[in-house]
Chain A
Amino acid sequence: AQSVAQPEDQVNVAEGNPLTVKCTYSVSGNPYLFWYVQYPNRGLQFLLKYITGDNLVKGSYGFEAEFNKSQTSFHLKKPSALVSDSALYFCALFNDYKLSFGAGTTVTVRA
């Protein structure tokens, strides 16, 4: 069975500081991993994905994620957070033509 875990419900950082949102996964076979961001009362916006290739994936709005097979992790990172990055972030695993979502992490960036 496949699963995705986001161990932190909330992440709080000061503007300008590095931001990390954690994600671990479990799947048999090769993982297809995604990160999405959701603003209040809005749908999901795609940030980045890992299918194959380089372990460091660069995405939208300055975000990147590092795929670590040995640790079964796919943490989302941004070197310098902005107040506008405050939102709900979801990690997702694509397998058997379905997406399984993590519980979500609320990111709050304070000015």
Chain B
Amino acid sequence: GAVVSQHPSWVICKSGTSVKIECRSLDFQATTMFWYRQFPKQSLMLMATSNEGSKATYEQGVEKDKFLINHASLTLSTLTVTSAHPEDSSFYICSALPYMNNEQFFGPGTRLTVL
């Protein structure tokens, strides 16, 4: 089946530093990848849609300069949280959408804690 990985699984960083999270589709090519943010016991909120080779489309209220997304290949998208602050602490989940498919495959998530 389609597998999506995320790295790292857990990250703890100091306030003001930047953190990069990788999302990889391991056995398929994903023309589109999505980044979600989830607060404890809440639903997933779509942050941005990333298409390979083009700029990401951010949802309303998401700061594109703070959450940098790069989709450099059909199997890799990265989310960089720049100048992280404690309020950025959250669970970040990516998903990948194969070409001409209507089912997204989700990564296992990355727990970010900013001290």
Contact = CB atoms under 8 A, between A and B. Distances in A.
B43 A103 contact: yes
Mostly, the A contact residues are: strand
Contacts of B4: 43
A43 B106 contact: yes
B91 interface: yes
Nearest to B111: A41
Contact of A42 (B32, B42, B46, B108): B108
Interface string A32-50: 1010100001111110010
A99 interface: yes
Contacts of A99: 34, 46, 95, 104
Mostly, the B contact residues are: strand
Interface string A12-44: 000000000000000000001010100001111
Given A41-B91, A88-B41, A103-B43, A94 B102 contact: yes
A101 B43 contact: yes
Nearest to B104: A99
Contacts of A34: 103
Nearest to B105: A46
Interface of A: 32, 34, 36, 41-46, 49, 51, 88, 90, 94, 97-104, 106
